[in-house]
Amino acid sequence: MDVVQFLMYMSLCTICALSKPTEKKERVHHDPELSNKVHDDAQNFEYDHDAFLGAEEAKTFDQLTPEESKERLGMIVGKIDADKDGFVTEGELKAWIKKAQKKYIFDNVARQWHEFDLNQDDIISWDEYRNVTYGTYLDDPDPDDGFNYKQMMMRDERRFKMADKDGNHVASKEEFTAFLHPEEFDYMKDIVVLETMEDIDKNGDGVIDLEEYIGDMYSHDGDSEEPEWVKTEREQFVEFRDKNRDGKMDKEETKDWILPSDYDHAEAEARHLVYESDQNKDGKLTREEIVDKYDLFVGSQATDFGEALVRHDEF
C-alpha cells in the first residue's frame, strides 16, 4: 500500500467512523466460494475447473485442444507437487486451490513488490517499507491531517515482524504477502485479532464490551431509535459473541467472531479431485492419473458442452 492508497484508506475509515452507515461494517473474514457454478459432475465439470485454476484462468483452457490442455496441465502438476516427490497429495492440492482462488491477492503483491524493493535484491527490509510508506511524514510532529504516523508505523512494524516467519529481519515475497494480507495466513491470525481489538476497544481495557461492539458498526448521531439490524447485533453479541456471558469479548471470542471456522471449500474440493482421479486408490495422485482425468481438472474445447460444437465443426 503506497502513501496515497494508505491515506485514502485512512480517510475512508474516518468517514465511516463519523457518519451513520446504512449497512453495518463487516469485520468477519470468510473464505470466498470457489466458483459460482453449480457443482454437479453429472452435468459438467465447470465448478471443478474454476476451483482448480481460478475462474479467469479456467476460461483460457476452454480455447485449447485436448492435447494442449493435457500438456499445460502436466506442467501445472509439477508446480503443485511442492516436495517434488512425484506425487500430488490432498494437502498439496488444497494449497494449490487456495492459491488459485487468491490469485488477485498475489497479483496485488506483485504490483507493489517493485515499489518497496528499492535495492532490487528480491527481499524487502522493514527500512525499505518504512521509507516508502511514511517518508517525511514522521518528521512532522503535528501533521495537518491529524494522523499519528508514528503510532501507525509502530503497528506496521509489529505486523512486519510477525510476518517475518523465519526471523531473518527481511520479508520474502510470501512473507510480504502475509504482511499485506494477514487474514489469509494461519500464523498471522493473532495479529488480525489484536489489530481488530485495538480498533474497537476504545477504553483500552483489552476487551470489547457491547457498546464498543455496536459503536464500531453504528453511530447514533442523535437518533433515539436504532435500526432493526443494530438490535439484532445486540442480540447476537449477548447470545453468540459473548460465549462466557461476562458482558465482553476477549481475544478468543473476538477470533471466533472475525475468523469463523467456516466449511473449508478448498479442502472438500481437493478431496473430491483425489477421489475421482486416484486410479490405484493409494491416496495420492501421479502426473499420469491427473492428466488422464484432464477434463475434470481443466477442460478444453472437447469437454462439456464444447464437445458438441467441435463435433459439429468436423461435419
pLDDT in tens, 23-35: 557 899 877 789 9
Cβ(64)–Cβ(310) under 8 Å? Answer: no
36 or 10: whose pLDDT is higher?
Answer: 36
**Percentage with pLDDT > 70 across the chain:** 85
Cβ(176)–Cβ(140) under 8 Å? Answer: no
Burial 118-156 (b: 16+ CB within 10 A, else e): eeeeebbbbebbbebbbeebeeeeeeeeeeebeebbeeb
Q: Which amino acid is at 94?
A: K
Residue 40 exposed, middle or buried by CB count within 10 Å (0-12, 13-18, 19+)? exposed
Q: Comparing 29-33, 81-85, 141-145, 274-278, which segment has the lowest mean pLDDT?
A: 141-145
Question: Which pLDDT does position 6 carry in this prediction?
Answer: 43
- Condensed to tens digits (0 to 9), the pLDDT of residues 103-142 reads 888 888 999 999 999 999 999 999 999 999 998 777 776 6
Question: Which pLDDT does position 106 carry in this prediction?
Answer: 87
Report the C-alpha gap between 1 and 305 in whole angstroms.
43
**Does residue 16 register a pLDDT over 70?**
no
Report the C-alpha gap between 280 and 87 in whole angstroms.
13
- Condensed to tens digits (0 to 9), the pLDDT of residues 136-165 reads 777 776 666 657 888 899 999 999 999 999
- Condensed to tens digits (0 to 9), the pLDDT of residues 202-225 reads 999 999 999 999 999 998 776 678
Residues paired with residue 285 on neighbouring β-strands, in sequence order: 88
Question: Which pLDDT does position 141 carry in this prediction?
Answer: 62
Q: Comparing 8-17, 19-28, 69-78, 203-212, which segment has the lowest mean pLDDT?
A: 8-17
Report the C-alpha gap between 94 and 97 in whole angstroms.
5
Question: Which pLDDT does position 145 carry in this prediction?
Answer: 63
CA dihedral 268, 271, 277, 282 (to 10 degrees): 180
Question: Which pLDDT does position 1 carry in this prediction?
Answer: 45
CA dihedral 79, 85, 88, 91 (to 10 degrees): -90
Report the C-alpha gap between 195 and 158 in whole angstroms.
10
Reference 43, options 312, 304, 273; nearest CA is 304
**Does residue 255 register a pLDDT over 80?**
yes
DSSP assignment of 94-142:
HHHHHHHHTHHHHHHHHHHHHHH-TT-SS-EEHHHHHHHHTGGGGG-SS
Q: Comparing 47-61, 76-90, 159-173, which segment has the lowest mean pLDDT?
A: 47-61
Question: Which pLDDT does position 186 carry in this prediction?
Answer: 92
Report the C-alpha gap between 298 and 290 in whole angstroms.
10
Q: How far is CA 315 from CA 135, 226, 307, 309, in A?
A: 67, 67, 13, 10
**Does residue 2 register a pLDDT over 80?**
no
Classify residue 68 by its DSSP letter: H
Classify residue 65 by its DSSP letter: -
Mean pLDDT, residues 284-300 taken together? 96
